[in-house]
Amino acid sequence: MLSISRLHGKVIAVTGGGQRLGAAIVRLAAQAGMRVALQYFQSQPAAHALVAELTTAGAQVWAWHGDLTQPNAPESFIDATIAHFGTLDVLVNNAGIWRSTPIGQVTAADWQDLLTVNVVAAFAAIQHATPMLTETCGAVVNICDAGVYRPWRNYTPYLASKGALVTMTMALAKELAPAVRVTGVAPGLALLPTEWDTERIRQATQHIPLQTHGSAQDIAEAVLFLAAAPFITGVILPVDGGVSLRG
């Protein structure tokens, strides 16, 4: 926690912050003393419960409802965050669509959905936030995916969208330097499907060097580490238990 102590009092905006990984990032940021704006769309009960939990504990957490597939929605979230807190220091592009799309079954709508949320909305939020992040010497952290480096079957459009996000992260790190740092986290097996039983988990983790799966907390800690690291930009940090080491 020493490295993220410098984040205390800073403003962080998290897309897809109402549940799962986004909620873990929001919770850890609030515990670090950050002022938090979270965007949610279909997770209203979870988002409102999270805000209530954290504000009761003394944190400054605020939620914004919006559909990032709609025109100008990412920009509106940034504007609303700055209007609410007066500034912005960290942007986390966590919102994303994850969908199985076997070859032969992929539609134009699949591509549209995946690229719009996973790439275009993230870029729009970054572009709109750049003037304020430049003023605050802020940071962007994009949630990528370790599957980009070791692809799996039946998710080609999803992995292609995350590959675009990886390239965008590195390109914008160069374009926005030196004022704004841009990095990414590439989670491996962390948030398990709810339907997996013990045997399915064993099969999935036996090829991971650390012989276990991660957690949303592991990913959230990596996000805040990168948000606080003043001499790191342009990197994609794998948080995958060592899977990226396999040849």
Which amino acids are annotated catalytic? 158
End-to-end Cα spacing for the chain:
33
Q: Which two tokens stand for residue 11?
A: 């403003």
Residues 244, 247: Cα–Cα separation, whole Å:
8
DSSP string, 167-211: HHHHHHHHHHTTT-EEEEEEE-S-S--TT--HHHHHHHHTTSTTS
Contact 183, 233 (CB under 8 A): yes
Residues 74, 122: Cα–Cα separation, whole Å:
8
Angle between the 20-31 and 216-228 helix axes, to the nearest 10 degrees? 50
Residues 69, 151: Cα–Cα separation, whole Å:
26
| Residue found under tokens 């940090």 | 237
Residues 113, 107: Cα–Cα separation, whole Å:
10
Q: Which two tokens stand for residue 187?
A: 């989670």
Q: Which two tokens stand for residue 213?
A: 């799966």
Residues 63, 245: Cα–Cα separation, whole Å:
38
Pairing of strands 90-93, 139-143: parallel
